[in-house]
Amino acid sequence: MRRNVILLTIDACRKDTWGCYGESDLTPFLDSIQDHCIRFDKNYSTGPYTQASFPAILSSSYYLDFGRIKGTCPPGRVLVSEVLKKQGVTTAAFHSNPYLAAFFGWNRGWDTYYDSMEADVSDMQPYVSAWEINKKAGQWLQSQKGKDKPFFLWMHYMDVHEPYIATPEFTKAVDPDLNLTKEEQFALFKDVLLKRDTENKAGIEMLRKIYWSKVHEIDAAIKELFGILSETGHGNDIVIITADHGDEFNDHGGLSHDGKMFDELVNVPLIIYDPSLTKGIATDVITSSLDIPPTVAHLFGIEAAAAWQGQSLLPLENYSRKGAFAESIDKQGVHEKGTEPEVHMYREGDMKIIYRQGDDSWKQYNLKEDPKEQKDIYGNDTTSEYLIKKVVPRVGRYVKK
Amino acid sequence: MSNVKSLGPERIKELETYIHISKNIVREAYRQFDPKDIRLVWSGNKDSTLTLWIWRETCKQYGYDMPKAVTLEEGDSFEEVEEFLKRISKEWAVELDVASNTDVLKACNYTLDADVEVKLLNERNQKEIERIGFGGLEKFPFEPESYIGNHLMKSVALNTYLEEQKIKIIVQGLRWDEHPVRADDAYFEHIQGEELQPEQIRIRPILHISERSLWDIYHHWEIPFVSLYAQGYRSLGVKSTTKKLAEIPAWEQDLENTCERAGRRQDKEQAMARLRALGYM
């Protein structure tokens, strides 16, 4: 049986907002499909923001492999779309993240590349919604009915990304008393989030609830997508769902997703939905978003590109990864300069080490004993020296070259 | 200019205030810097021409020497703009240099969309291409307002010129209402130097002047401008990627409710505006 692959990525979505990963009741639909899913509990993004994480998801490469390049896609990155297309797979993308616009070179290898840059969007919602992405992808899925060629479809939802403006029907489930107008919510974005005002505890709590309501909305959009897949005759296809990075609500003294390396930002959800599975599988092996392109290639029976640095997650019994790296630039953003210091993370076993080049500092956490990463044990643990050796060769490696 | 309405005394007073603010920026510049160390970046468009006019008026009023101006030759100019620069620089006695990335122009044989072989470019251009993320690229079609083209033909051309001339201070005709990404720009900005990016002090005297006020000033003080604006162009980039927005003069269009830069190549603008709205700037 020919099976297509759909990759759904959600921008800035924290792992702990998914019911299947914890206490949350925000994602009833995602929770309901777990019997047909392989769930990865320790999947690491390669960075805490889009520019740092998407090179892994789309090209199995790290952010800084090609220097400080402001999110553009250099020719050296081999996109999963390029590999699949060459092997006769139809490729299509529907997203609304400006960092991944065709303009920056991410449209290579896609037969269809919708980046929404021509769409009219507002300051309160500077992207096209998940519902609109569903609609566009739905039309495209319809067009694939009866086609001989298999397809790879990548969709990306921006709705969980700031500015968070809730859709009223989804706020009720989070907090029926959260009656903020759009303008009030936008003011919270501007006055609290953008200013990174971590003193404003009440404001942060409201932002968190609005964020939760956006996650709840996304869950409904995913449900709609699964309906569209069934209606268009693609109900047996494989769906991979993940997030490019998480988001911070003063977990470690910050808001949004700057250059930090704590789990709320880099330990991202990842599930592979396979309707032929009859029992859900959860695995706590450490995996990396780098593994997504080789996994997709594997599902089509296509060989992974030599340049790819990840390995196929499937078959699970053959998978072996020791640890996961992530990297970022301290002051990320469009004003980032070549001189901004780097931040590096390495996770292996229960240990995570973080290096900040800016103040040449190391921090280490034991995630089993200290999952919230509050107690720095660097230097007080026998593994510190080993972990440092893993990270040091990666710091400034582009400059060294 | 038969269609231009005459302005009431209050509006004229308001415009005078705007000009006065700009003149004060110019005076502040002269308190800090020697005009020999300054270059006015003059593309011939409405913003840089107004900046030049105000700068020149200030010089006349206070007896300052005019700095030199510099214009960028990007290989895809409107003839009307070239003619305007030539004529006005003569009329206003402005010494005008031309900065251009001739290495790129030669590589594409001065032809739009012709392929530029990266390995045939000089070391600086190759490094610059690598710096913006295209290391390993073999060739690209020459287009001055593409991502690579924009960097090579604007930023690199100007930076190279400024380095050769040992100039750190430039004057730019930017306006706050021209584009949301400009909203936080400052009258004086110090750019730290780093590899391939020379240290710069950027002076922007007309930030506060809106598109509407700009046209009112042009008409009231009878300042010359490129004829293309009368044909319906609102904002001028290079010839092949700039479109008219309407068949009526720029100043008769709905300036308040339509986008000034809609006729310009949009990719970069849109990406930047979206990133800003997402909280990234």
Q: pLDDT digit string (tens) for B205-232?
A: 999 999 999 999 999 999 999 999 999 9
Question: CA of A116 to nearest chain B CA: how many angstroms apart?
Answer: 10
Tokens of A84: 């699949």
Contact residues on chain A for B259, CB-CB shorter than 8 A: none
Question: Could you give the strand order of the β-sheet that contains B188-191, starting from the edge strand earlier in sequence?
Answer: B96-100, B68-73, B38-41, B169-171, B200-203, B188-191
Choose which CATH entry (3.40.50.10680, 3.30.70.270, 3.40.720.10, 3.40.50.2300) describes domain A5-315: 3.40.720.10
CATH superfamily of B9-277: HUPs (3.40.50.620)
Tell me how far apart the alpha carbons of residues A131 and B225 are, in angstroms, rounded to a whole number. Answer: 47
Scan residues 106-145 of B and list those with Cβ closer than 8 Å to A.
130-138
Contact residues on chain A for B268, CB-CB shorter than 8 A: 103
Q: A7 φ, ψ to 5°?
A: -110, 120
**Tell me, what's the pLDDT at A331?**
66
Are A230 and A236 within 8 A, CB to CB? no
Beta-sheet pairing, B200-203 with A361-366: unpaired
C-alpha distance from residue B246 to each of A153, B219, B224 (Å): 40, 20, 21
Are B160 and B122 within 8 A, CB to CB? no
* CB-CB under 8 Å, A117 with B275: no
What are the tens digits of pLDDT across the range A333-380?
Answer: 434 455 678 999 999 999 999 999 989 999 999 999 999 999 999 999
* CB-CB under 8 Å, B132 with A69: yes
**Tell me, what's the pLDDT at A332?**
47
Interface ipTM > 0.85 = no
Are A312 and A298 within 8 A, CB to CB? yes
Scan residues 5-64 of A and list those with Cβ closer than 8 Å to B.
none
Question: What are the helix (H) ranges across B113-256?
Answer: 123-129, 147-150, 157-165, 211-220, 228-231
Tell me how far apart the alpha carbons of residues A60 and A310 are, in angstroms, rounded to a whole number. Answer: 6
Beta-sheet pairing, B38-41 with B169-171: parallel
Location of structure tokens 């590899």: B195
A127 — contact with chain B (CB < 8 Å)? yes
Radius of gyration of chain A (CA): 20
Where do the domains of chain B lie?
9-277
Q: Please name the residues in contact with A317: beta carbons below 8 A apart, sequence gap of 6 or more.
A: none
Closest CA in chain B for residue A336: B281
* CB-CB under 8 Å, B271 with A103: yes
**Tell me, what's the pLDDT at A119?**
87
| Percent of chain B whose predicted confidence (pLDDT) is above 70 | 96
* CB-CB under 8 Å, B134 with A75: yes
* CB-CB under 8 Å, A162 with B281: no
**Tell me, what's the pLDDT at B143?**
85
Where do the domains of chain A lie?
5-315, 341-401
Phi-psi region of B225 (alpha: psi -120 to 50; beta: other; left: phi over 0): beta
What is the number of other CB atoms lying within 10 angstroms of the CB of residue B123? 8
Question: CA of A123 to nearest chain B CA: how many angstroms apart?
Answer: 6
**Tell me, what's the pLDDT at B241?**
80
What is the number of other CB atoms lying within 10 angstroms of the CB of residue B36? 11
Exposed (0-12), middle (13-18) or buried (19+): which is A318, by Cβ within 10 Å?
A: exposed
A117 — contact with chain B (CB < 8 Å)? yes
C-alpha distance from residue A372 to each of A265, A355, B64 (Å): 12, 18, 64
Beta bridge partners of A93: A113, A154
**Tell me, what's the pLDDT at A339?**
64
Closest of A5, A173, A188 to residue A80, by C-alpha? A5
| Percent of chain B whose predicted confidence (pLDDT) is above 90 | 65
* CB-CB under 8 Å, A105 with B133: yes
Q: A341-401, which class in CATH?
A: alpha beta
The single-letter code of the amino acid at B197 is Q
Closest CA in chain A for residue B131: A69
Tokens of B250: 């720029």
Contact residues on chain A for B133, CB-CB shorter than 8 A: 66-67, 69-74, 105
pLDDT averaged per 10 residues in sequence order, chain B, 281 residues: 75 97 97 97 97 98 97 93 97 96 93 91 92 79 83 93 96 88 85 86 96 96 96 89 86 84 72 78 58
Which among B130, B197, B275 is the nearest to A334, CB-wise? B275
Grouping H, G, I as helix, E, B as strand and the rest as coil, residue B179 is coil
B274 — contact with chain A (CB < 8 Å)? yes
Contact residues on chain B for A161, CB-CB shorter than 8 A: 278
Closest of B203, B178, B226 to residue B58, by C-alpha? B203
What is the distance in angstroms between the CA of the first residue and the CA of the last residue of chain A? 47
Are A242 and A268 within 8 A, CB to CB? yes
Tokens of B8: 């009431």
The single-letter code of the amino acid at A260 is K
B186 — contact with chain A (CB < 8 Å)? no
Phi-psi region of A60 (alpha: psi -120 to 50; beta: other; left: phi over 0): left
What is the number of other CB atoms lying within 10 angstroms of the CB of residue A388? 15
For the residues of B43-80, what is the DSSP string, one character each? -SSHHHHHHHHHHHHHHHHHTPPPPEEEEEE-S---HH
Name the stretches of chain A with pLDDT < 50. Answer: 332-336, 400-401
Beta-sheet pairing, B200-203 with B188-191: antiparallel
**Tell me, what's the pLDDT at A400?**
47
Closest of B127, B274, B132, B279 to residue A71, by C-alpha? B132
